[in-house]
A and B are shown apart, each in its own frame.
Chain A
Amino acid sequence: MDMSQRTETRITRKFAQLKAAGRGGLGAFITAGDPDFETGLEILMGLADAGADMIEFGIPFSDPMADGPAVQASSLRALKNGMTLKKTLDMVRAFRQRDDETPMVLMGYFNPIYIYGVEAFLVDAKAAGVDGLIMVDLPPEEENELCIPALAAGINFIYLTAPTTDAARLPKVVEKASGFVYFVSITGITGTRSATSADIAPHIERIRKFTDLPIAVGFGIKTPENAADMVKIGDAAVVGSALVQVITDNLDGENRARPGLAAKVHQLVSELAAGVRSVAKRPTKEVV
């Protein structure tokens, strides 16, 4: 691990706090600007209060090849209503004026960043208050594109590991990882099947052999019970499609937000947070 990977960010601070408190974390994924900028901002602003420990903010993309129908549709809704990467950063900036603690990870596909310009993007993202990046289509083989420049800019680069990432490959994947490692709990796209802690246990064990970084588990986690089950083994559970589904279920025929949409998303977040918090992990300090 080189120095840049040790850079302290809100992410590293948060995981240290979680560890001290003896509990797992909840990551909430939503697509930026879904279903529209205003509603999206309202959702974003309330996530931490509802109990999200970390926000994964999806950069809308026209061709999200690792995502299931719910997230695909959310991306298209946001784009249709004029969302862009620039506006995504605007939202992060607005969020940071209220909340200077909750880690903010941008998640998406490389092309919008490539077109924005990697250097300009990293400067603007850092200034806006972005802590980390998850790029679905940038495996370590393409680390020169964004991972290495991001580390140099003081932004964590979070690598995805999958059930197919075997012990021979893991060292390469975690070599430049920082912040945390994301374990994709199923071989498949977002929001389809759900795994259990028994399914993921051998994989998490394997990953821990190669890194001391915290491990967040995601893809397919839908219920508070499921999230609770995941943090028995993982350090955090990330929920995306289930939140996006709440948005989908609260749109009118023209894909406009019905009143109370944001509150419904926050409601599910608080249920998920309660689930995650119901699991006691070995604390290093008194549980808060």
Chain B
Amino acid sequence: MNTPNTYRAGADDDGHFGIYGGRYVAETLMPLILAVERAWNEARNDPDFWTEFHDLMKHYVGRPSPLYLAKRLTEQLGGAKVYFKRDELNHTGAHKINNTIGQILMAKRMGKTRIIAETGAGQHGVATATVCALFGLPCIVYMGATDVERQSPNVFRMNLLGAEVRPVTSGTGTLKDAMNEALRDWVANVDDTFYIIGTVAGPHPYPTMVRDFQCVIGNELRDQMDEAEGRLPDTLVACLGGGSNAMGLFHPFLDDEGVEIIGVEAGGKGLDTDQHCASLTGGKPGVLHGNRTYLLQTDDGQILDGHSISAGLDYPGIGPEHSWLKDSGRVSYVSVTDAEALDAFQLCTRMEGIIPALEPSHALAHVIKIAGTYPKDHLLVMNLCGRGDKDIFAVAKHLGLDMGQTDQG
């Protein structure tokens, strides 16, 4: 593949990143998808839109999120200086709110009066319910029936915020089915409804739009690192579910050749098993949910359910721009296992006094593997994209099991 002049130009007019992306949706939705695209093209060029966005980022979300040098962890790992971009300190506890604020402003702009969303772990559902409360719009969140059980605290949060959580039992009752169900709702309610997608996936313009909202992460980092160290970071690491926190961190640095960029997928019980959720490192290109991208699937093109200890990484696809960045070689993609993520979760908690979500614990597990291989002046930044309060029950269960058995990890 030829090296492009810039890695930041996509998507093209038809929503493609190389062969990835696109608009693979039913005709009923196409006019609406095109309307979202037109509205987005106007909004992105409207300074007032961004003024409102950044005002909410500052006063409601609490941005900028700090750039924090994890001193004890750095010493322990004995190599690169490890920085955390603290997006877990955002209102609602994850990066998801950056996107939902942006999209609720889009819904408002388009005069839509009803909001739908899909959610896996419940973080995007909570972030959507939050902005719907803020803007006084009714909110319906589709959530796989199994996730409704696994993530009951987040279900209650959404209910408190006034959202209706609809458990999805169709298909396999997981995140992918929640997304199918949200699309089915949208097809039936095209006139008044805006679909707030939770990651950099879906039909064009969603991957681009969500990316541009999440880029607040990487843009802040550029300034913060310049202030802290007077230069660019050397290595960026982030976890990937659909890929939104990673894209937000990576995108502003894609054209800075010297910056090494690594995305970390959920390896579950290992890529040699069928219990993982590593679409890029363990899947192949296909078409689902409006875009072409790497997918977990059978030889017959049927979509498989992923497995991860972290419900937020449990999506069998990945944003199409990541697929393109993988094929072009600009970003490296790796995976870590459930067990490695659990170890990282505990290390971070004990050494830094920060309980991370299980999703960024995957990124941290990779940081733990590589930090020692770099010199001491190497600047490594990991996106700490969510806090772990939501995960303490899941972790307790796993640790409880560990205690009952002799050797784990």
Shortest C-beta distance, A203 to chain B (Å), equals 12
Q: A62-B303, A116-B301, A164-B190 are in contact. Are A169 and B31 (CB under 8 A)?
A: yes
Within 8 A of A (CB), among B238-278: none
Of A13-21, A131-139, A221-229, A242-250, the one contacting chain B is: A131-139
Q: Chain B interface mostly helix, strand, loop or mixed?
A: mixed
Q: A160: which B residues are within 8 A, CB to CB? A: 26-28
A214 within 8 A of B: no
Within 8 A of A (CB), among B283-322: 286-290, 295, 297, 299-303
Let me know if B188 and A192 touch, CB within 8 A. Answer: yes
Given contacts A64-B180, A142-B22, A164-B29, 12 further A-B contacts (CB under 8 A): A109-B287, A110-B24, A113-B301, A114-B286, A115-B301, A136-B26, A141-B14, A162-B27, A162-B28, A164-B31, A184-B28, A187-B28
Q: B297: which A residues are within 8 A, CB to CB? A: 111, 115
Q: Chain B: how many interface residues by the 8 Å CB criterion?
A: 35
Let me know if B24 and A115 touch, CB within 8 A. Answer: no
Q: A116: which B residues are within 8 A, CB to CB? A: 300-301
Alpha-carbon separation in the docked complex, A97 to B302 (Å): 29
Shortest C-beta distance, B236 to chain A (Å), equals 32
Let me know if B31 and A111 touch, CB within 8 A. Answer: no
Shortest C-beta distance, B147 to chain A (Å), equals 17
A188 within 8 A of B: yes
Q: A141-B14, A142-B22 are in contact. Are A112 and B301 (CB under 8 A)?
A: yes
Let me know if B190 and A142 touch, CB within 8 A. Answer: no
Let me know if B301 and A114 touch, CB within 8 A. Answer: yes
Q: A95: which B residues are within 8 A, CB to CB? A: none
Shortest C-beta distance, B20 to chain A (Å), equals 13
A213 within 8 A of B: no
Shortest C-beta distance, A80 to chain B (Å), equals 11
Within 8 A of B (CB), among A62-119: 62-66, 68-69, 72, 76, 79, 84-86, 109-116
B357 within 8 A of A: no
19 interchain pairs, CB-CB under 8 A: A62-B302, A63-B177, A63-B303, A65-B183, A66-B187, A84-B300, A111-B303, A114-B286, A114-B287, A114-B301, A115-B297, A115-B300, A138-B24, A141-B30, A142-B23, A160-B27, A164-B28, A169-B31, A187-B190
A276 within 8 A of B: no
A189 within 8 A of B: yes
Alpha-carbon separation in the docked complex, A68 to B180 (Å): 11
Shortest C-beta distance, A107 to chain B (Å), equals 12
Let me know if A189 and B187 touch, CB within 8 A. Answer: yes
Let me know if B27 and A85 touch, CB within 8 A. Answer: no
A161 within 8 A of B: yes
Q: B301: which A residues are within 8 A, CB to CB? A: 61, 85, 111-116
Q: Chain A interface mostly helix, strand, loop or mixed?
A: loop
Let me know if B300 and A139 touch, CB within 8 A. Answer: no
Q: A161: which B residues are within 8 A, CB to CB? A: 27
A173 within 8 A of B: yes
Alpha-carbon separation in the docked complex, A141 to B30 (Å): 9
**Cβ proximity bits B174-195 to A, threshold 8 Å, 1 near / 0 not:** 0011001001100111100000
Residue of B nearest to A165 (CB): B27
Let me know if A137 and B171 touch, CB within 8 A. Answer: no
Shortest C-beta distance, A220 to chain B (Å), equals 11
Alpha-carbon separation in the docked complex, A43 to B180 (Å): 29
Q: Chain A: how many interface residues by the 8 Å CB criterion?
A: 44
Alpha-carbon separation in the docked complex, A226 to B66 (Å): 62
Residue of B nearest to A60 (CB): B302
B170 within 8 A of A: yes
Let me know if B302 and A79 touch, CB within 8 A. Answer: yes
B25 within 8 A of A: yes
Alpha-carbon separation in the docked complex, A69 to B184 (Å): 11
Let me know if B287 and A85 touch, CB within 8 A. Answer: no
A8 within 8 A of B: no
Let me know if A63 and B288 touch, CB within 8 A. Answer: yes
Q: A84: which B residues are within 8 A, CB to CB? A: 300
Alpha-carbon separation in the docked complex, A76 to B176 (Å): 15
Q: A79: which B residues are within 8 A, CB to CB? A: 302
Q: B286: which A residues are within 8 A, CB to CB? A: 111, 114-115
Alpha-carbon separation in the docked complex, A185 to B287 (Å): 26
Which of B24, B180, B190 has the most CB atoms of chain A within a 10 A radius of its CB?
A: B24
Within 8 A of B (CB), among A183-227: 184, 187-189, 192
Shortest C-beta distance, A216 to chain B (Å), equals 14
Let me know if B299 and A115 touch, CB within 8 A. Answer: yes
A159 within 8 A of B: yes
Residue of B nearest to A68 (CB): B184
A166 within 8 A of B: yes
Q: A61: which B residues are within 8 A, CB to CB? A: 301-302
Shortest C-beta distance, A164 to chain B (Å), equals 5
Q: B395: which A residues are within 8 A, CB to CB? A: none
Q: B188: which A residues are within 8 A, CB to CB? A: 187-189, 192
Alpha-carbon separation in the docked complex, A116 to B297 (Å): 12
Alpha-carbon separation in the docked complex, A243 to B169 (Å): 22
Let me know if A72 and B190 touch, CB within 8 A. Answer: no
Alpha-carbon separation in the docked complex, A162 to B297 (Å): 30
